[in-house]
Amino acid sequence: MKDIYQRLKTLGVDAPFVRSRILPDWWDDAQATVPATRAVAEFAISRFLGIPIADLRDPTASLALPAPSHAKLKLRSDATREKVAPGLALADRAARLVVDLLGQNEEGTPLPDFTGTRTAAQVRQHILEAGELVTLGTLLEFAWSNGIAVVHLADVPKGSKTFDGMACFVEQVPVVVLASRRQSPPWVAFHLAHELGHLLLGHARAGGGPVVDAGLDAASGDPLEREADVFALEVLTGSRKPSLPTPSLTGPNLAAWASRTGALERIDPGTLSLVYGRERRRMPVAQLALARLHLDVGAQGMAAEALAKRVPEGLPEDLGRLLAPEPTTA
């Protein structure tokens, strides 16, 4: 396998990632000396990275990651298309494999047809009418029940810059791929709401390229990104500019204020904590409040559970490795 690992490394895909997330659980590199067994590894790598098997089999062939055509990349200043290519290739493949799996699903609940564009107010009203707050859990259910598949990558290769999310269409099926390493449900709820904005506002369309976002925590000068940010804020809070308290709150005081205000205004207290931290430029305080509210872990598991409900017979083992969240400790 040395020749494959060396060539993949030049693309930003490290060998430990390939072994842990792409190759079968039983794989041992020594087995690659048997051509038929090495073919198993070649197939798995080709399946998840989109690299032709013929290139993997030829030790002299250079490898290239396929990039989705016409991708709209909204990147941090420290990222380039090449630096996010490994994660982007995995996101594209995961989206396609999940949509294909849902299309073959005979026992579970089929994915309904996409209901089309909606305003932020309509999305929020739909969720609140069910007697719920707008949280990561209710956003996931909204997406799935309105024909939008949501996938969360468990990890990306070490050589890849992370990105927060991608909104795309696989044929006629809209898909959100989340890839943030954050575990806080309110954080990931914002990422999901932002990507839903790209889909429901028509920024990403069937037949067009994906919209890929990195650095949603930072302000963006891109008009589509600002529009998706406003959409997300309105879905989560009901306002484009929520009222906030003094900038001198401590973490415990912020958690208490967010709990009181959230109950009155039907807003997730974790969301209020993050809005406060972002607007007041006190994110460490917001992080302390999230921990106090017990809203700092579990996001990946929630996304995985929402997908599993649509595939009751279970994900294929190889796809499960790519999407299975790492264990978290409270």
**Predicted local confidence at residue 327, as pLDDT:** 54
pLDDT tier for residue 145 given thresholds of 50, 70 and 90? very high
CA pair distance 188, 303, nearest whole angstrom: 10
Q: Which residue has the higher pLDDT, 132 or 305?
A: 305
Lowest pLDDT segment from 108-112, 201-205, 245-249: 108-112
30 contacts: CB under 8 Å, gap ≥ 6: none
Q: Is 251 a residue whose pLDDT tops 50?
A: yes
Sign of CA dihedral 218, 188, 91, 12: positive
| Burial tier of 240 (Cβ tally within 10 Å: 0-12, 13-18, 19+) | exposed
**Predicted local confidence at residue 273, as pLDDT:** 96
Residue 227 region by backbone torsions, left for phi larger than 0, else alpha for psi between -120 and 50, else beta: alpha
Q: Is 326 a residue whose pLDDT tops 70?
A: no
Quote the tokens at residue 177: 């791929």
pLDDT tier for residue 330 given thresholds of 50, 70 and 90? very low
Q: Which residue has the higher pLDDT, 174 or 79?
A: 174
The answer to whether the beta carbons of residues 94 and 318 sit under 8 Å apart is: no
Q: What 3-state class would DSSP assign to 152?
A: strand
Q: Residues of 117-142 as b/e, b for ≥16 C-beta within 10 angstroms?
A: ebebeebbebbeeeebbbbbbbbbbb
CA pair distance 41, 279, nearest whole angstrom: 48
Strand partners, 212: 73, 166
Q: Is 108 a residue whose pLDDT tops 80?
A: no
Q: Is 291 a residue whose pLDDT tops 80?
A: yes
Task: Report the predicted TM-score, pTM, of the whole model to 2 decimal places.
Answer: 0.91
Q: Which residue has the higher pLDDT, 298 or 246?
A: 298
pLDDT tier for residue 249 given thresholds of 50, 70 and 90? very high
Tens digits of residue pLDDT in 169-198 = 999 999 999 998 899 999 999 999 999 999
| Region 250-255 average pLDDT | 96
Sign of CA dihedral 252, 254, 260, 265: negative
**Predicted local confidence at residue 329, as pLDDT:** 44
**Predicted local confidence at residue 75, as pLDDT:** 59
**Predicted local confidence at residue 314, as pLDDT:** 82
Pick the most confident of 59-73, 76-90, 206-220, 303-317.
303-317
pLDDT tier for residue 131 given thresholds of 50, 70 and 90? confident
pLDDT tier for residue 209 given thresholds of 50, 70 and 90? confident
CA pair distance 6, 11, nearest whole angstrom: 9
